[in-house]
Amino acid sequence: MEQKKKLGKEGERAACEFLISKGYTIRETNWRMGHLEIDIVAQEPNANMMHIVEVKTRASDDHYDPMESITKAKIRNLVNAANGYIEYYSLQLSVQYDVMILVGTATDFNIQFIPDAFQPPLSTRR
């Protein structure tokens, strides 16, 4: 389990580096609100857009689609966390939900960036 956790942290680090190389500013990593967590909160330069980035890291593709782990419950949790983040910091920003899939090792990730990967449902709170 420790190896998997380490790979996940390396994936998040690589995801941040990727976003920075594209001009994004990293506002937060691993932001928590209760049991909810946002992997990366980023912002494009000169844009009124906040990006909530879910990072999925795998050692190999193993014929597994990481997007399958973006369930309705996961989307609901991300949207609720994003709403909490906006409220906590009193922000007036639009929100986009992105997914980054990293496959490989800490020294050699294949990165797939999926901007605007999903739209929030009309209702998220239970």
Tokens of 34: 């209760």
Q: How confident is the model at residue 94, as a pLDDT?
A: 92
Using CA atoms, how far apart are residues 96 and 114, in angstroms rounded to an integer? 11
Q: What is the pTM of this model?
A: 0.89
Q: pLDDT tens across 12-38, in order?
A: 999 999 999 999 999 999 999 999 999
Using CA atoms, how far apart are residues 66 and 104, in angstroms rounded to an integer? 13
Q: pLDDT tens across 41-80, in order?
A: 999 888 899 999 999 998 876 666 767 778 899 999 999 9
Q: Taking the domain 2-118, which CATH number applies?
A: 3.40.1350.10
